[in-house]
Amino acid sequence: MQNPTLFQFFHWYYPDGGKLWPEVAEKAAWLAEIGITAAWLPPACKGESGGYSVGYDIYDLFDLGEFEQKGSRATKYGDKEGLLAAISELKQHKLGVILDVVLNHKMGADEKERVQVNRVNMDNREEISDDIIEAEAWTRFIFAARNGQYSKFIWDFHCFSGVDHIENPDEQGIFKIINDYTGGGWNDQVDDEFGNYDYLMGANVDFRNNAVSEELKYWGRWIMEQTHCTGFRLDAVKHIPAWFYKEWIDHIQAQSEQPMYLVAEYWSFDVPTLQNYIRQVEGKTMLFDAPLQLNFHHASKQGADYDLTTIFDNTLVAADAAHAVTLVANHDTQPLQSLEAPVEPWFKPLAYALTLLREHGVPIVFYPDLFGASYEDEGEDGNNYTVNLPVIPHLEALIRARQGYAWGAQTDYFDHPNCIAFSRSGTAEQPGCVVVMSNGEAGEKTIELGDNFAGKQWRDMLENRGEVITTDEKGSAQFFCAAGSVSVWIMTE
């Protein structure tokens, strides 16, 4: 028996040159050994920028690094053979394989088409001009190099509801395409930011076209057959009608021999909004707990001024733990990204203890936190910056502690703004632990574990504290942590 523990096996600035798939294969055994149970891989399909694409500028869903398209055969992460070898190695070590699904848009069209469009107010997408503009748009995808292999479907302007660029006349903005499916405006059951957040980027896929939705269902079957993956991470679902994803999930679950693990990215800090989406898809997918990640960001910035007793306030894991994937960082929140909300390194061990060692939520570990990363990019101010993301101390130990000690009922001691604790009681088969942390001065907590723990000796497995603690005849003791630190107390042998 294992506690589910996910690993995001990439970051936005991962080096190009086909290095990732070999690294996945190389590190699969070690990840399984420390307690990771599933790996989330980046988008494996060919993007507009070919071998330099992170994968979210999706071009051809059926090119997994197999065809000479967009300047390369391989993707940034490697070729199809390397992908399948990496997946095989993960599965050989009993790790789940979660593939990234990008269905909201397409980019890098092969041909232009004559279209009719309406201008859209970018700040309120419900404001659509009545004026009809005759123009050209890059909306035709023929995938000549693939030549109909796997799918003969040709995407044209009937498949899209909007674009952000037109030619003759040349304009940038948001333009609603006029076709048989867009007379009612944008899709419903999407986020209401900017009035309606159906449109995000590129050629915006219109799921109301039945041929499109059926093609995407077919692709879901195809990618499962090709890769034998065990789950999907669903990108940008706030921009995709919930009714479509409910249908798509039902379809792929019906086609799979085992239930597919699903987690969706709905990046909102409003818990009722997240809960509404879960209701719309009838609970068929988990969601990343963006509000908790934001709390970690604020806590790391404010230091001792942050009230740790509120760390789980207004979070998905507190409201609906069964659908929450808890995270400390991801590729969108890392420095220089659009949703930048980094958690300062000093606080990350505390944050990971609050996700990995608690009873509720499924935690995910971010690649740079385990392996480190260094990169350069342009900031919003136009200047170039170098970012170094260090390996987080004790993260490997905390992952191991999740499998070794994060068992049994949980009791919280959230009674001081700068020092909180929780205990796990353990089970008949698995031991528990006591976790104490402080965002200020060195802290202590009196923990009452009960008669079964009378006279037991405890040590801090992270070695942030060096003493051995012995519980009294009632199983109580004072447990300590260092300033701005976390300690995980386990019983000695």
Catalytic residue set: 235, 265
Evaluate whether 57 touches 202 at the Cβ level (below 8 Å): yes
Place of tokens 């249908």: 247
Tokens representing residue 429 in the block: 């088969």
Is residue 106 within 8 Å of 162, Cβ to Cβ?
no
Backbone angles phi, psi at 18, to 5 degrees: 70, 30
- The whole-angstrom distance between residue 156's C-alpha and the CA centroid of its chain comes to 30
What the block records as the tokens of 272 is 């009722």
Read off the tokens for 292: 């908790």
Annotate 272-284 with DSSP letters as a single string. HHHHHHHHHTTT-
Chain mean position to CA 363: 10
Tokens describing residue 393: 């101390």
DSSP state of 206: -
What is the C-alpha to C-alpha distance for residues 455 and 68, in angstroms, rounded to an integer? 68
Number of residues assigned to the chain: 493
Name the residue with tokens 């199983």: 475
Q: Around 479, how many Cα atoms within 13 Å sit in the side-chain half-sphere?
A: 33
Is the separation of the CB atoms in 260 and 253 below 8 Å? Answer: yes
Least Cα distance to 203 among 154, 297, 139, 268 occurs for 139
Residues 6+ apart with CB under 8 A from 225: none
| 3-class secondary-structure state, position 401 | helix
Q: Please state whether beta strands 324-327 and 286-288 pair in parallel, antiparallel, or not at all (unpaired).
A: parallel
